[in-house]
Structure 1
């Protein structure tokens, strides 16, 4: 969660998004605690709420910014 705070401070809320790369190895190997499986992705949202991010900011980080990027690139 510290990295989200850092990136938002560095780039601004409109330029931060979740990158959900998936592991090709056994589940849990090399995982971040609390994100051992795709189903645990909701823990990111819980963490953002706990850090005081607004609903609008969470929407941006969890997909809104990525969609806006694709709209700009794809036209």
Structure 2
């Protein structure tokens, strides 16, 4: 699946947009390890990220079980 996400400032204004193609297995959860892996400084020498991954924590807190999806959810539809 193609994913797109935005980093926002405290007011919710987008400051960075990323697009990437990621493959997931059914039920798989992936997390961000900061841009290009663990870093000691940002691209503008701003230091390591100190904010907690609140959206991920909330998702995992409310996650009961992976939804039961059929194979069309993960494979492109070729017969329409």
Task: Give the alignment's TM-score, normalised by structure 1.
Answer: 0.28
Higher share in strand? 2
Mark the structure with the bigger radius of gyration.
Answer: 2
Higher share in helix? 1
Name the structure, 1 or 2, with higher relative contact order (CA <8 Å, separation 6+).
Answer: 1
